[in-house]
Amino acid sequence: MEKVDILIKGAVVYPLNRKLDIGIVGNKIAVLQNEISKESAGQVIDADGCVVSPGFVDSHMHIDKSLTANEDDTTDLLSAHIRSLKENARVYSGWSKDAIVDEIVERTSKVVEKCIVNGTTAIKTHVLITDDWDMCALDALEILKRKYQHSISIYNIVPCIPAYEREWRMYAEQGKIDFIGAYPNCTTNLFTGLPEYDCNYVPAVDFAFQLAKEYHLPLDIHCDESDSNDISCFRYIIEKTAESNMAGFVTCGHVTGLGARGIDEDDVYDAIANCSKYGVSVTSLTSCNMYLMESGRRGPTRVEQLMDAGVNVSIASDNIRDPFRPFGNGDLLEEALLTAQVHKFGTREKLCKLFRMITYNPAKNTLLDNYGVMPGCTADLVIMKAPDIPEAILSKAKRAYVLKAGKIVAKDGKML
């Protein structure tokens, strides 16, 4: 038998739900079988009946803003947005670009490390570009990518806003943009400089698809995150995806219009069927949208209905302890547990389906290759102190080991 670098003994492998030994050679899973001899292993991890899954993927974050919450507990989207911008202007006024980059790197490193010890091996994060920050957040993410390259994969999502189009194109040409972001339902009032929602989304969506074609980049769009029961932007993005042959390369985040009251059900059925047919992924930011929902009129999107229609649905952290949401631990089991309660995923079968929304589904919208627990897959793994997936979610199981590309990067909640 070929020698393996790391042997994981007696793990219950998700999604096979069988107790097996996993042999890792280099950065890959080399063998998966009933019994691998300890003699053939460089290092042995005794999983002792604990469940092992591929590393979690947090595919919609805003880590550049994280840990900036203050004591003001505004709980609607527009107020939170205005407060976030005003706080940024106040805090960073007069700072040099280097100082801003250093501060973002230092603050967000704490969140990245939380994600790693909680079993996340890949994140996709939206980048804030404003007059106060210029492109500093993107520069900070470049540094973070390198700093944590052996522990977690970090992908950026960068919107091309008019005042920074020249810079955006420069970064795109240098291959420094992973996904194109957009906020088509939100615009900046030219007189007040403040955000406004429920605007004409068509020009922003068209521009994002034009850039996607020019630079061959995938899209991740904040969509229908508004207080109205209007899903026309969602429908328009689906239409554009079909027209541009971009199935599998477009993700809509939030889509809270689908969770609004008073919406036409035939319209919803039709939109969800087309979302599935034309390969648009949806990311629900359940916890953040629960926090920001306005008087019960708006809330998380329809996770189960989308899932049942065959849409690739994920859940993610969104904002972590910033003006949009003062909670969050970079822990996708916590997000899964909250989603399970909000959407009544109360059976073992439903909890297993939910678990796909923090693993295989976001891996798909992040375009990760070789993802899974099979020979040939990259050895990005998390071993949880629970016998199966439902119990792992219900108990927010401790993460015993986290492996990234075949190396142990965290053990019992601590970075190695």
* Least distance to Zn ion, CB of residue 222, Å: 6
Q: Compare residues 119 and 159 and give the one whose CB is closer to Zn ion.
A: 159
Q: Tell me the per-residue interface mask from 316 to 345 with Zn ion, x by CB under 5 A, - otherwise.
A: --x---------------------------
Q: How far is the CB of 60 from Zn ion (least distance, A)?
A: 6
Stretch that binds Zn ion, among 69-77, 182-190, 211-219, 315-323 (CB under 5 A): 315-323
Tell the smallest beta-carbon distance from residue 68 to Zn ion (Å). Answer: 15
Q: Which is nearer to Zn ion, 181 or 279 (CB)?
A: 181
- Binding-site size, Zn ion (CB under 5 A): 1
Q: Which lies closer to Zn ion via its Cβ, residue 258 or residue 384?
A: 258
Closer of 54 and 253 to Zn ion (Cβ): 253
Q: Which of 46, 4, 8 is nearest to 26 (CA)?
A: 4
What is the closest distance, in whole angstroms, from the C-beta atom of residue 376 to Zn ion in the complex? 34
Strand pairing report for 414-415 and 407-411: antiparallel
Q: Return the range that interacts with Zn ion (CB under 5 A); candidates 87-95, 99-107, 311-319, 338-346.
A: 311-319
Distance CA 71, CA 13 (A): 43
CB of 287 to Zn ion, least distance (A): 11
Cα–Cα dist 170/228, whole Å: 36
| Binding track, positions 259-298, relative to Zn ion; x by CB under 5 A | ----------------------------------------
With contacts defined by CB under 5 A, name the span among 65-73, 83-91, 256-264, 310-318 that binds Zn ion. 310-318
Distance CA 76, CA 190 (A): 22
Smallest CA-to-CA distance from 358 within 370, 369, 371 is with 371
Contacting range for Zn ion; rule: CB under 5 A; set: 41-49, 137-145, 304-312, 314-322: 314-322
Which of residues 58 and 318 has its CB atom nearest to Zn ion in the complex? 318
For Zn ion, give the closer residue by CB, 151 or 256.
256
- Toward Zn ion, which CB reaches closer, 318 or 322? 318
Between 318 and 380, CB nearer to Zn ion = 318
Q: Are 358 and 332 in contact (CB under 8 A)?
A: yes
Cα–Cα distance, 241 to 249 (Å, whole number): 8
Shortest Å, Cβ 301 to Zn ion: 12
For the bound state, the minimum distance from the C-beta of residue 113 to Zn ion, rounded and expressed in Å, comes to: 21
Output the residue with the shortest Cβ distance to Zn ion.
318
Minimum CB distance to Zn ion smaller for 87 or for 322: 322
CB of 62 to Zn ion, least distance (A): 6
Nearer to Zn ion, 45 or 78 (CB): 78
Q: How far is the CB of 128 from Zn ion (least distance, A)?
A: 11
User: Minimum CB separation from Zn ion for residue 352, in Å?
Assistant: 26
Residues near Zn ion (CB under 5 A) are 318
